[in-house]
Amino acid sequence: MTTYKLLVLPGDGIGPEVMAEVEKIAAFLTYEGFVKFEVEKGLVGGSAYDVHRCAISEDDMERAQAADAVLLAAVGGPKWDNVPYELRPEAGLLRLRKDMQLFANLRPAICYPALADASSLKREVVDGLDLMIVRELTGGVYFGEPKQIIDLGNGQKRAIDTQVYDTYEIERIGRIAFELARKRRNKVTSSEKRNVMKSGVLWHEVISALHVREFPDVQLEHQLADALGMQLVRRPKQFDVIVTDNLFGDMLSDVASMLTGSLGMLPSASLGERNATTGARKALYEPVHGSAPDIAGKGIANPIAMISSLGMALRYSFNMDDLADRLDRSIARVLEKGLRTADIAGGATKTISTSEMGDAILEEL
């Protein structure tokens, strides 16, 4: 059996608490012979600053580059509000994304039936929702040049941001979306604003050509980003995989997250280019939530987003879809039993701690 190297970066705030539950599950999966993980631990964010006076050490950067997958919990907190800007906790995460060239951000929005009443929408609209937003992460208007504020004199200033996309950037993110759809419900919705943006025209053209050339078996539709936003809160279950640029993806994935109820439930993956010889991708898995300093150290954080992030690693880095399904089913069953951490409590349910939630999921596994 292949041994997979996992680099675990617990980070700050509730990070170490939710990561402890993932470590428990990773150890169990290895012990039971489902998979062979070799787990290394590193420091990132404030916890790295406290020890090394940097947001991530060169040593840990190298280990991240060498790992088969990196699991990160969360960084930041008021303790580090006054550290120099380039050493701030978030700089560690940005460095990882940049050096590992993680250009694809995958954000699933899954609504477990047991939690459908916690959504911002009516139960029937979201019950059983399972969509995936694929957001381009390293290009577009957040990075395009020129990017500046020009003083025009006479009290006037001009701000410039530039949206730039090259064919290869659209192709590689499109390929990820189509490949994902083949493993899911075989449908991709591509979104841009070609009616007002040249980048949207190129996006539409490149995705359409890629579809004809490499993925004719997958159903493709195009929706303008504003219309898609509307459809997301109107009839979200029509979507399977949504692929879009950095800016629209940022906004749409936050909208989608509120369809599902709680921040404590949502995992994410960031993927890089495939290695031409091994076929493996650089990959980082992390919950959508932050370090939640307000509840850190209390043992009440919800570890499900972090545990689902391990599930995404099983699926997208190790091709172990069966095991990932088993993990997802275990989470669903624990919720069906009425076991809840405080953030998702409500109704006839039992409120349990972070580690009790980890244990309950382990029990189901």
Active-site amino acid positions = 142, 193, 226, 250, 254
Residue 76 found at the interface with ligand ATP (CB under 6 A) = yes
What minimum distance in Å lies between the beta carbon of 344 and ligand ATP? 8
Residue 233 found at the interface with ligand ATP (CB under 6 A) = no
4 is in an annotated binding site: no
180 is in an annotated binding site: no
What minimum distance in Å lies between the beta carbon of 112 and ligand ATP? 15
Binding mask 271-310 toward Mg ion (x if CB under 5 A, else -) reads -------------------x--------------------
Residue 139 found at the interface with ligand ATP (CB under 6 A) = no
**How far is 228 from 241, CA to CA, in rounded Å?**
12
Binding positions for ligand ATP, 273-292, rule CB under 6 A: 289-292
State the alpha helices, DSSP H only, in 100-147: 123-126
Q: Which is nearer to ligand ATP, 137 or 176 (CB)?
A: 137
3-state secondary structure string across 135-184: EECCCHHHCCCCCEEEEEECCEEEEECCCCCCHHHHHHHHHHHHHHHHHC
**How far is 226 from 74, CA to CA, in rounded Å?**
31
Is residue 289 within 8 Å of 264, Cβ to Cβ?
A: yes
Is residue 239 within 8 Å of 111, Cβ to Cβ?
A: no
**How far is 230 from 327, CA to CA, in rounded Å?**
32
Q: Of residues 269, 305, 320, 335, which one binds ligand ATP by CB under 6 A?
A: 305
Q: Which is nearer to ligand ATP, 12 or 192 (CB)?
A: 12
DSSP for residue 337 = T
Asked whether the bond before 236 is cis by omega within 30 degrees of 0, the reply is: no
83 is in an annotated binding site: yes
**How far is 238 from 251, CA to CA, in rounded Å?**
19
DSSP for residue 113 = G
Closest CA to 172 of 272, 250, 266, 83: 272
Q: Which is nearer to ligand ATP, 169 or 343 (CB)?
A: 343
In this structure, what token pair is assigned to residue 199? 């980048």
184 is in an annotated binding site: no
Is residue 31 within 8 Å of 94, Cβ to Cβ?
A: no
264 binds, among Mg ion, ligand ATP, none (CB under 5 to 8 A by kind): ligand ATP
79 is in an annotated binding site: yes
Residue 105 found at the interface with ligand ATP (CB under 6 A) = no
Closest CA to 55 of 23, 93, 18: 93
Residue 345 found at the interface with ligand ATP (CB under 6 A) = no
- Residues shown for the chain: 365
221 binds, among Mg ion, ligand ATP, none (CB under 5 to 8 A by kind): none
Number of residue whose CB is nearest Mg ion: 290
**How far is 140 from 143, CA to CA, in rounded Å?**
6
Reported as half-sphere exposure (CB side, CA atoms, 13 A), residue 250 has a value of 8
Q: Which is nearer to Mg ion, 9 or 361 (CB)?
A: 9
What minimum distance in Å lies between the beta carbon of 21 and ligand ATP? 11
Annotated binding site for NAD(+): 77-90, 290-302
Annotated binding site for Mg(2+): 226, 250, 254
Annotated binding site for substrate: 97, 107, 135, 226
The residues binding ligand ATP (CB under 6 A) are: 14, 18, 74, 76, 263-264, 289-292, 294-295, 301-302, 305, 343
